[in-house]
Structure 1
C-alpha cells in the first residue's frame, strides 16, 4: 500500500515484480484527496473562496476579532485538510444565527469582514457534501477495513443518498470507481486497512520530537526558566512546582492575561458543530 508517490510506487513495482502473488494498493486517504484536488483545484469559484479566506485572515488577525480568523491554509497536501476551510464559514453563519457573536461583533463589523460569505453559500453546500462523501468513506474503512463487501455497501449508500447536485453525484461516482478498482485486487473475503494514517502519525511524532532535540515543552521551559530570576536548587524548584496546582495557574492566567483566543473561539462557536453524517448532509 502506498500514496502513489514516485519513490513508493517504483519500489512497489519492483517488489511485486519479484513477488507476483502480491499487489499494490492505493492509500485511500491520499487518493480521495487527489479526487478532491481534481474537482476543485481549477475551480475558479473555489480559488476565489480561498483568496477571500486569506484576505479575511489578514484583516482580522491583529484585531479583537482574531478568534474568528479562518484556519491557516497549508501549502503542502492542501486537499487533505480542506474540511476546516470549508466548514469555517458555515460555522460563522451558524454562530451569527444563534447570537453567539452579538456581544463582540457589531452588525457593521460582521458585514464588513464576513458578509462576503453569503455569495458562496450555494458553493459551500456542494463542497461540504463532497467532503462528507470523502470523510464517510474514510471513516468506514478506518473502522471496518477495506473489502469487496464494504465497497458494495458504500455503493448502496450512495445510491440511496438522494444527492441532488450533479457535481456531488458525479463525485460519488468517481469515489466509487476508485473503490471498485482497488477492490478487484482483493481476494474474496479479504479485509485490509488501506490507510497509512497510523504509520504516518508515528513518523510525524518522531520528527517533532527529533526536531526539538528530545526536550519537548517541559525541557525547553526549564531551560528558559534557568536564565531568569534567582538561582534555585533542584529541591527548591521541585517544591515550587509541586505547590502550584493547575487550577491556580489557570486562575492566574485568567485574571492577569485575560480571555485567550481559544477561550473566545469556544464561546463564539459553541453549538455550531456542522453535521457531517452522510444521511443528514445528502438527504
Structure 2
C-alpha cells in the first residue's frame, strides 16, 4: 500500500507541475526537486514510474528555448477558447472563430507594441480567409444544419426542448 501511495504522489506532483507550469526547459529539474521533497523509496516499480514520468517531461521540454513553455493542460486551452468565445460573442456559436489566430497572444507574453505591429501588418481579410480555410465548417455547424435543423417536430408542432 505504501508503494502505491508513493507512486500516486509522484503522478500527482508531475500532473500539478505540467498543469500549472506547462512543459519547459528545466521541467525535469523542477520535477526532481519536488519529488525529492516527497521522500519516496527506491522501490523498483516506483523508480521505473519516476523515470518514465521524468522522460515524458524531458522529451517535450528539453529542446525548448529558455523562457518558452508548452501548454500542458487542456484546462488552459479550454479557458483560452472560452475567452475567445466571450470576445467574439454571437460569432462564436459555430465553434472556433477567427480569434483563434490570437491564441499565441492570449497565452504568451506579448507587448502592446508587438500586438499593434502585427495588427497593422496583417490585413483582416487575410486573417478571415486563413480562418475559413483552416477551420472550415465546425461540428456544431453540421449538427445544427443536419441533425437538429429547426425548432419544429415532424408533425409541425414546436419542439418544447
Same fold (TM over 0.5): no
Pair member with larger Rg: 1
The normalised TM-score by structure 2 is 0.42
The higher relative CO (CA closer than 8 Å, separation ≥ 6) is in: 1
The normalised TM-score by structure 1 is 0.26
